[in-house]
Amino acid sequence: MDYQQVINNIYHEVKSLPVVGEVADYIPALANVDPDQFGIAIATIDGQTFGIGDYQCKFSIQSISKAFTLSMVIRHIGSQLWEYVGKEPSGTPFNSLVQLERENGIPRNPFINAGALVVTDKLMNLYTHPKEAILEFVREMAGTDDIYYDKTVAQSELKCANRNQALGYFMKSFNNIDNDVDALLDVYCHQCSISMTCEELAKSFLFLANHGINPHSQKEILSVSRSKRLNALMLTCGFYDESGEFAFRVGMPGKSGVGGGIIALIPGQLAIAVWSPRLNKYGNSYLGIETLERFTTDIGISIF
């Protein structure tokens, strides 16, 4: 398969589409991002990489980081996590408070904000220095030390974290948050501010395409069973209340972020990262979804 030619063709096709969507301007630091940047990168399990456009530009991965922290927690406490967070699609916006009250402070899944806060809370119980541990894990998965928090983005998110603060205190009232909420928000906003390129992002998710084994080091990160289940969660819940549409159109497990990034993978083969900051009404990259739909169509392969 000539992946470089495939993404070259898709890149030029998608670039010519009408301009649609806006950047995530509710986070001030993201409002200043050039909305017309666009990059695609593929990393394969056998060590090949392909890219086009702005695939070497750093951007804030935002909610894509939730897959990293979920992996870190699952590898230590396994199924115990599901006592505190569910495994079902939410059908509501990623920062919704509505379901929490009806469901006694148990978030519907680990990829909406409430669920991700619970996961990060558990991570804080596992690591004395959680921010350092998250960076170390992401660097190990990507095979590079050149990955950092974007302090400007982290501070910007902390200043407008009222909704996440409300989610945290509400869940704490149900005894589903252990740590101080402000300390939790500090870790959470930092994990969302991680800055990576498309190429680094694609490489960092290869362990989930490789049944839990990091192909850079051949180290087992997750068991085959846990890797399979995390991929299932990404397929059903990784795109907020557009997850069903993404599965229908694209047919790959994946995770999006409001920084405009999307990561998706084909188990046993590859991971593909796309970045375009213009978002649709669900908070997912408009060109990112267009790109990935064309990718699985053009190569004739998905998980189905």
What string of pLDDT tens digits covers the 304 residues of the chain? 899 999 999 999 999 999 999 999 888 899 999 999 999 999 999 999 999 999 999 999 999 999 999 999 999 999 999 999 999 987 776 667 778 888 899 999 999 999 999 999 999 999 999 999 999 999 999 999 999 999 999 999 999 999 999 999 999 999 999 999 999 999 999 999 999 999 999 999 999 999 999 999 999 999 999 999 999 999 999 998 899 999 999 999 999 999 999 999 999 999 999 999 999 999 999 999 999 999 999 999 877 7
Q: Is residue 268 part of a domain?
A: yes
Of 11, 55, 149, 188, the catalytic one is: 188
Please give the pLDDT value at position 93.
Answer: 66
Of 23, 55, 66, 195, the active-site residue reads 66
The two beta strands, 194-196 and 148-149, are antiparallel
The residue count of the chain comes to 304
At residue 157, the pLDDT reads 95
The answer to whether residue 66 is catalytic is: yes
- Cα Rg, the chain, nearest whole Å: 18
CATH code, 239: 3.40.710.10
Residue 112 has a pLDDT of 94
How many Å apart are CA 189 and CA 275, to the nearest integer?
20
Outline where DSSP puts E strands in the chain: 39-44, 49-53, 59-60, 148-149, 194-196, 213-214, 219-220, 254-256, 261-266, 270-275
SS3 224: helix
Kindly state whether residue 304 falls inside one of the protein's structural domains. no
Going 218 to 220 to 223 to 227, the CA torsion angle's sign is negative
Residue 84 belongs to domain spanning: 3-299
Give this prediction's pTM: 0.96
Query: Catalytic one among 243, 258, 276, 282?
Result: 258
Q: Determine, yes or no, domain membership for 216.
A: yes
41-71 per-residue burial string, b: 16 or more CB within 10 A, e: under 16 = bbbbbeeebbbbbbbebbbbbbbbbbbbbbb
Q: Is 63 a catalytic residue?
A: yes
Q: One of 240, 243, 256, 285 is an active-site residue; which one?
A: 240
> Number of folded domains in the chain?
1
Residue 258 is a catalytic residue: yes
- Tell me if 86 is assigned to some domain: yes
The predicted pLDDT at position 236 comes to 96
- Is residue 186 in some structural domain? yes
Active site residue 73: no
Nearest to 165 by CA among 81, 60, 104, 95: 95
